[in-house]
């Protein structure tokens, strides 16, 4: 898994940064991309990245403010031109379906793939044999949600010493055991996956939060997460401004990550007043003083998870 930031600015684009959009690349897990928010210009950012719209499988919108969804109509309509003909599911708060359908209808845009829109108000919004996605309401001027992506535990690696006990050699039967299927040997013996596999590999947990003031729901969404992506619109010296605009400071993001017992914190959604990396450095230092395992989101940089 890898995170790729397509936009990290708050409110409006700047000369240095685009507005919010985050890609979660699941190439080994399911050879697809999940997108979190889609601010204006996101499809242009795709063109500058190693990501392909044809691999886009799901989009999760945190809330209906323009800097988080104005890029949707263009991206959805352009996707087919870049080879994206597979189904796409869009998740978001109530109102997202009306926004998308009205935009596409009035612009006479055609989407020639299966587009499914799921409106939600929190809870488990998706589950299959590989992942569970949970959402919860945060505290913003309009309903804003955080998403907790939980990868299910994967089978352990095949243990060569255990294979030798059963006289097994590399071959097609390995794949069946790895997929959790039992096999029958030539002498009639049944070998179960548990007989030859090591301990299960713990699945990753990624928490991506929408715009929010500090709120209790952040902690359960982020509990034990391998990584939290949290907005840090302002330095804490502007905490009153952050509160008035329903945002968080770098210090508050670090306090949330610390309380949640997370492993890593990534700060994003920076105010335009912080124009470059030098001016963003104080936000990083502020957070690291509380939660050392903090980094700043940088556009067009892959972050392995």
The catalytic residues are: 67
CA 209 to CA 145: how far, in whole Å? 7
Asked if 211 and 247 count as a contact pair (C-beta separation under 8 A), the reply is yes
Instruction: Kindly state the tokens that stand for 72.
Output: 């949707």
Closest to 90 (Cα-Cα) out of 67, 68, 105: 68
Question: Which phi and psi angles does 259 have, rounded to 5°?
Answer: -65, -35
Which run of H or E residues covers position 48? none
Measured in whole angstroms, the distance separating CA 18 from the mean position of its chain's CA atoms is 18
CA 38 to CA 300: how far, in whole Å? 15
Please report, in angstroms and rounded to a whole number, the separation of the first and last CA atoms in the chain.
6
In the chain, what are the helix, strand and coil shares in percent, each to the nearest 5? 30, 30, 45
Question: Which phi and psi angles does 161 have, rounded to 5°?
Answer: -65, -35
Q: Tokens 């070998």 belong to which residue?
A: 191
Closest to 252 (Cα-Cα) out of 278, 223, 220, 291: 291
Query: In 10 A of CB 184, how many CB atoms?
Result: 10
Asked if 28 and 49 count as a contact pair (C-beta separation under 8 A), the reply is no
Question: Which phi and psi angles does 231 have, rounded to 5°?
Answer: -65, 145
CA 280 to CA 92: how far, in whole Å? 30
Question: Which phi and psi angles does 49 have, rounded to 5°?
Answer: -115, 170
């Amino acid at each position: 898994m890898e995170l790729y930031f397509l936009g990290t600015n708050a409110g409006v684009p700047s000369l240095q940064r685009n507005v919010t959009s985050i890609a979660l690349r699941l190439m080994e897990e399911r050879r697809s991309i999940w997108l979190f928010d889609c601010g204006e210009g996101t499809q242009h950012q795709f063109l500058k990245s190693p990501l392909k719209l044809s691999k886009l499988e799901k989009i999760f919108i945190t809330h209906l403010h323009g800097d988080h969804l104005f890029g949707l109509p263009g991206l959805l309509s352009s996707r087919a031109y870049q080879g994206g003909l597979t189904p796409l599911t869009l998740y978001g708060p109530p109102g997202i379906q009306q926004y998308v359908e009205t935009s596409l209808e009035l612009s006479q845009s055609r989407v020639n793939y299966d587009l499914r829109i799921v409106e939600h108000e929190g809870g488990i919004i998706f589950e299959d044999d590989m992942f569970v996605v949970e959402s919860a309401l945060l505290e913003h001027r309009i309903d804003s949600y955080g998403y907790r992506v939980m990868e299910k535990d994967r089978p352990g690696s095949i243990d060569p010493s255990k294979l030798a006990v059963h006289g097994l050699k590399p071959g097609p039967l390995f794949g069946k055991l790895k997929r959790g299927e039992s096999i029958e040997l030539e002498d009639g013996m049944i070998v179960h996956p548990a007989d030859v596999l090591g301990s299960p590999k713990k699945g990753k947990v990624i928490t991506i939060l929408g715009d929010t003031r500090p709120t209790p729901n952040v902690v359960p969404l982020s509990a034990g997460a391998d990584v939290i992506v949290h907005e840090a619109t302002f330095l804490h010296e502007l905490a009153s401004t952050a509160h008035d605009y329903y945002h968080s400071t770098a210090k508050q993001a670090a306090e949330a990550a610390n309380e949640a017992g997370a492993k890593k914190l990534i700060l994003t959604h920076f105010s335009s007043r912080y124009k470059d990396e030098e001016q963003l450095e104080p936000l990083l230092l502020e957070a690291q003083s509380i939660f050392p395992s903090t980094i700043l989101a940088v556009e067009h940089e892959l972050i392995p998870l």
